[in-house]
Amino acid sequence: MELGDSIRVVKNIGETRAKQLNRLGIEKVEDLVEYFPRTYEDRSNVVALDQIVKGEVNSFKARVDGSPESLRVRTMTIVKVRLTDGKGFIEGVWYNQPYIKNILTPGREYVFTGKINERYGRIQAENPDFEPVREDSLNMGRIVPVYTVPAKMSQKTMRGCIKDALEGIDGEIEEFMPRSIINKRNLCDRRYAVNNIHFPESDEGFFKARRRLVFEELLMLQLHLLQLKGNVTGKVSSVSIRDYNTAPILDALGFKLTQAQENVIGELFADLRKGTVMNRLIQGDVGSGKTAVAMVLAYVIIKNGYQTVLMAPTDVLANQHYKNISKVFGSLGIRCALITSGVRKKEKNAVLSDTAEGKAQMIIGTHALIQENVVYNNLGLVITDEQHRFGVRQRESLEKKGKDPHVLVMTATPIPRTLALILYGDLDISIIDALPPGRQKIDTFAVDRSYYKRLYAFVKKEVAKGRQAYMICPMIEENDKMELRSVLTYTAELKEVIFPGLRVECIHGRMKNDEKQEIMTLFEKGDIDVLVSTTVIEVGINVPNATLMIIENAERFGLSALHQLRGRVGRGSEKSFCVLVSDAKNKTSLERLKTMCRTNDGFVISEKDLELRGPGDFFGTRQHGLPEMKIANLYKDIDVLKEAQETALFLYNTDEKMKKNENKLLKSRILRLFERKIKKICL
Ligand code: ADP
Ligand code: MG
């Protein structure tokens, strides 16, 4: 039997089981042996009945004492039987499994595992799993794997299938890891790892196996990403830059760039001078001034005769970028265009033909920019703002609109460097690590609803000083099921009852594009005092005169959303405040709120976020285009990840194309793996 064979060749897998397994994506023998357990149950400790621990899951060996009886209680069938091991008695009870009566043989000895409860003075094992006593059991007397099983397949059957597959291919599990790496990283060999991940010999065997498989998974992913990056970094760019004069744009910006911004611009220009295609990510906390950096680069690209396109995740943000950038660029004689789904047809046609003819030089928009009917003339640079809101695929569709344009990606979600290497493994990374001068810490408070009176007085005070406020609600409309603040109801109440003297308006995602636009323009001009909003303003929005951010039902938002929302204030030199209103009592919510009050540092916040949410939710792996991890956990396995990254870099630097004999097997494994996985998800 070979790893590449269909699972039908495995003993005891017929058509029905094969079909069930197929539904989980298990087609070949190899898929089956690499279908790792979801978790484990430790059944290795088999106790005597006088040693049993009530309230816990126990494993014990016992003889069936007498015939099982079956009773009906209303609609339920209950099977009961007395069990003994000579040292004690216990009652086995099974609910709604009438067949149990027929498979337990009186007088025979079995091993049972189940929760032990005391009911009406009797000690009972509830719905215990059992198996006749035998040597070499897969299900009892050991650490037992628990799988995600297909519908209508039991854990026992699944274990059996995997054991049969492992035995059938005995000796076939090939070691593809170079010997030198196995030695250096002290890894167990592959066959041992695969056997022990399913049926661990011992705790130690399990840990060794897991470490080896995690290492292998992360190493292959990292090597693959390095190779992807290698493919693009080597690529010669057809965008030719001769003129690097930035004086006019620096002048037009109206402020002096920070050292941090200048450093990053230096890195961008170094990329251009190399003559290869730029693929760079700029990380910078909210308010660090990423847009200005992007504008300087775009200016140079445009002045050398190419178009630049900037994609933003929301139309509110695209509109804002369009307004600000066209003001600056307009004064320099550069033509800007806006493409969102909200732009009217007639206008749009004009914009589309300007873009296609190259008359529009700076094109700004939402994902409408990647639609088929948008044709560019000579795209030199593609910028995505707030990349964490896009999928890799969207970014790539935009890049494909040009002929290998330079690529600049911006994000305000700071992540630990090790993880950045995985998430953005195909990009070079620049960091804007300082805020523009004059920024003050945003004082943040968490309060409950009993504070409203004081809070409203505070709003009035800020407005009296000429400042503006945001009030964020989790919902647009009231919803009977949830007692949450809604934009519509709250706005009405604020207008009529709470702040009759103030100018209160609202904005939310269900409004038409030009309605949203109108509201944002009024707010920017200072003609609205209090803007009630959903999270449509979460990313990118920049109104420096707003100094107060109030978030209602703050427990409803994740840490990164809270940080982004708070980042809408504190964007000028005035002191700003953020108030998180919540009555929540649960631990995680409280922890989030506490973190927000304690720090303004996006880096600290994202680490905490990762810790509270776990990596799955944090990354939305699919969103990022990463393949689903089979065994590794990007957060918990951070130490192994570091080792894997070191090894990957070493391999890449010493044998980039992996042509050396000892690396060949690893290379073909990576090719095979990612041919099947990544293509489907991201490329
Ligand atoms: P983000 O990094 O969050 O996208 P923005 O690019 O929107 O930040 O910049 C935030 C604010 O800071 C804007 O009002 C911008 O004009 C201002 N700004 C950017 N760089 C500087 C600077 N060097 N000096 C002063 N203000 C700056
Ligand atoms: Mg921004």
Give the tokens for residue 22.
């197929």
Straight-line distance from the first to the last Cα atom of the chain, in angstroms, rounded to the nearest whole number = 33
- Do 360 and 351 form a contact (C-beta atoms < 8 A)? yes
- Do 567 and 470 form a contact (C-beta atoms < 8 A)? no
- Do 623 and 391 form a contact (C-beta atoms < 8 A)? yes
Closest ligand to C-alpha of residue 386 is 2
Backbone dihedral angles phi then psi of residue 315, each to the nearest 5 degrees: -75, -25
Q: Which pLDDT score is estimated for 478? A: 84
Give the tokens for residue 614.
């776990």
Strands (E), 412-454: 428-432, 443-447
Q: At 235, is the secondary structure helix, strand, or coil?
A: coil
Q: How far is CA 447 from the centre of its chain?
A: 30
For the stretch 418-467, pLDDT in tens is 677 777 777 888 989 899 998 889 999 999 999 999 999 999 999 999 99
Longest dimension (CA), the chain: 96
Q: Which pLDDT score is estimated for 495? A: 96
- Do 321 and 291 form a contact (C-beta atoms < 8 A)? yes
Query: Which residue has a Cα nearest atom 18 of ligand 1?
Result: 289
* CA–CA gap between residue 379 and residue 660 (Å, rounded): 39
**Atom number, ligand 1, closest to the C-alpha of residue 261:** 23
- Do 494 and 504 form a contact (C-beta atoms < 8 A)? yes
**Atom number, ligand 1, closest to the C-alpha of residue 542:** 7
Closest ligand to C-alpha of residue 569 is 1
Q: Which pLDDT score is estimated for 331? A: 96
Query: Which residue has a Cα nearest atom 4 of ligand 1?
Result: 290
Helices (H) and strands (E) in the chain, counts: 25, 21
* CA–CA gap between residue 438 and residue 256 (Å, rounded): 13
**Atom number, ligand 1, closest to the C-alpha of residue 571:** 11
Q: Which pLDDT score is estimated for 344? A: 82
The runs of H, that is alpha helices, within 629-660 are 638-654
Q: Which pLDDT score is estimated for 171? A: 67
For the stretch 192-202, pLDDT in tens is 999 999 999 98
Average pLDDT for consecutive 10-residue bins of the chain (683 residues)? Answer: 91 94 93 93 91 93 94 92 94 94 94 92 93 87 91 92 91 88 96 95 94 95 82 80 96 96 97 92 90 98 97 92 96 96 86 96 95 93 86 79 91 73 78 89 95 96 96 89 88 96 95 91 96 89 94 93 93 93 91 94 83 60 60 81 91 90 92 62 31
Whether the pTM exceeds 0.75: the reply is no
Closest ligand to C-alpha of residue 327 is 1
Kindly report the average pLDDT of the chain as a whole number: 90
Selection from 441, 484, 451, 490 nearest residue 470 by Cα: 490
Q: Which pLDDT score is estimated for 611? A: 76
DSSP code at position 237: P
Q: Which pLDDT score is estimated for 137? A: 86
Architecture of the structural domain at 443-599: 3-Layer(aba) Sandwich (3.40)
Of 321, 431, 571, 574, which is best to mutate to test ligand 1, by the most ligand atoms within 8 angstroms of its C-beta? 571
Of 541, 542, 574, which is best to mutate to test ligand 1, by the most ligand atoms within 8 angstroms of its C-beta? 542
For the stretch 569-615, pLDDT in tens is 998 889 999 999 999 898 989 999 999 999 998 888 888 887 777 65
What is the location of CATH 2.40.50.140 in the chain? 45-141
Regarding the beta carbon of 412 and ligand 1, being less than 6 Å apart is answered yes
Q: At 335, is the secondary structure helix, strand, or coil?
A: coil
Q: Which pLDDT score is estimated for 196? A: 95
* CA–CA gap between residue 479 and residue 485 (Å, rounded): 9
Q: How far is CA 680 from the centre of its chain?
A: 18
| CATH domain 45-141 topology | OB fold (Dihydrolipoamide Acetyltransferase, E2P) (2.40.50)
- Do 551 and 485 form a contact (C-beta atoms < 8 A)? no
* CA–CA gap between residue 551 and residue 534 (Å, rounded): 10
Regarding the beta carbon of 570 and ligand 1, being less than 6 Å apart is answered no
Q: Which pLDDT score is estimated for 682? A: 33
